[in-house]
């Protein structure tokens, strides 16, 4: 007479476990985050290591001019969002309330990037659902950024230009893909040339990503482009959900054994 209730309980527990396993994993694990923190009281060029702790670089213009001493500015404006720590950058600085990277020359392309994380190469095969995200705020809705990655020593940028509402901080995301149609070559030789090339004729290599950043096209509308909180993340492991499913099954088995011993 006890078997039907037990079977019902087991069925309910099994259904719960199945539902948990079927739930999408929305939470993300951050594997890299750069906040461009500014601990000073004014704007600084990126070479100012007293108030800035970043390994990002900047190049600008069609000739790929180094802008570290001229054009690369980290503003002391409020970060978006505030009070986040750097992750995987090599700079274990505490969170900063202020710090925004920005450009203010509309007639030039800009290329912000880092290769300083090479001790933590991004292995695409081991991080299949890699996602890029960042906050941007442009004075013109026609301005925007392209995601840039370095693979096998060459640079590539997304064929998509990520635009946003003018003068509004907007979170942008890009789910990494190797599809050829999603990428263009970036013709980049420091001090010589910098321009977006053709869409790839074959899929992007699946080898390690050894550098990444954002590329801003020539901006005819004027005004500034701003970026903040550049992040790489992957979905959290489902191991916790799998473990919970196993525990549910174990509890059901134990309940069956107890009932069996009582009725024996």
Q: Tell me, what's the pLDDT at 49?
A: 87
For 66-89, the pLDDT digits (tens) are: 988 777 788 888 999 988 989 988
* Residue bearing the bigger pLDDT, 93 or 25: 93
For 137-176, the pLDDT digits (tens) are: 988 888 899 999 999 999 999 999 999 999 999 999 999 9
For 88-140, the pLDDT digits (tens) are: 887 766 778 899 998 877 678 999 999 966 555 898 888 889 999 999 998 88
pLDDT band at 211 (very low <50, low <70, confident <90, very high): very high
pLDDT at 200 over 70: yes
pTM of the model: 0.80
Architecture of domain 25-237: Sandwich (2.60)
**Can you tell me whether residue 114 is helix, strand or coil?**
strand
Q: Tell me, what's the pLDDT at 26?
A: 64
* Residue bearing the bigger pLDDT, 11 or 108: 108
CA dihedral sign of residues 151, 156, 158, 164: positive
Burial (0-12, 13-18, 19+ Cβ within 10 Å), 179 = exposed
Tell me what the pLDDT averaged over the chain comes to.
81
**Can you tell me whether residue 17 is helix, strand or coil?**
helix
Give the position of tokens 């980049």.
188
Q: Tell me, what's the pLDDT at 224?
A: 84
**Can you tell me whether residue 56 is helix, strand or coil?**
coil
CA dist., res. 17 & res. 250, Å (int): 11
DSSP 190: T
């Amino acid at each position: 007479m006890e078997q039907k209730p037990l079977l019902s309980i087991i069925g309910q527990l099994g259904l719960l476990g199945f539902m948990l396993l079927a739930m999408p994993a929305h939470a993300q694990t951050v594997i890299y985050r750069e906040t461009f923190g500014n601990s000073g009281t004014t704007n600084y060029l990126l070479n100012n290591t007293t108030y800035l702790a970043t390994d990002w670089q900047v190049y600008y213009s069609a000739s790929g001019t180094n802008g570290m001493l001229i054009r690369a500015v980290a503003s002391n404006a409020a970060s978006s969002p505030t009070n986040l720590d750097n992750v995987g950058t090599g700079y274990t600085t505490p969170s900063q309330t202020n710090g925004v990277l920005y450009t203010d020359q509309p007639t030039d392309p800009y290329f912000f990037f880092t290769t300083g994380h090479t001790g933590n190469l991004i292995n695409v095969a081991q991080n299949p659902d890699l996602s890029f995200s960042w906050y941007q705020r442009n004075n013109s809705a026609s301005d925007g950024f392209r995601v840039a990655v370095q693979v096998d020593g060459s640079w590539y940028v997304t064929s998509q230009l990520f635009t946003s509402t003018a003068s509004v901080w907007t979170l942008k995301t890009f789910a990494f893909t190797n599809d050829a149609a999603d990428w263009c070559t970036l013709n980049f030789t420091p001090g010589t040339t910098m321009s977006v090339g053709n869409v790839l004729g074959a899929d992007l290599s699946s080898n390690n990503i050894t550098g990444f950043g954002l590329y801003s096209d020539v901006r005819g509308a004027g005004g500034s482009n701003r970026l903040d909180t550049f992040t790489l993340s992957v979905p959290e492991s489902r191991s916790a959900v799998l473990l919970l499913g196993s525990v549910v099954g174990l509890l059901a088995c134990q309940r069956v054994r107890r009932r069996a011993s009582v009725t024996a």
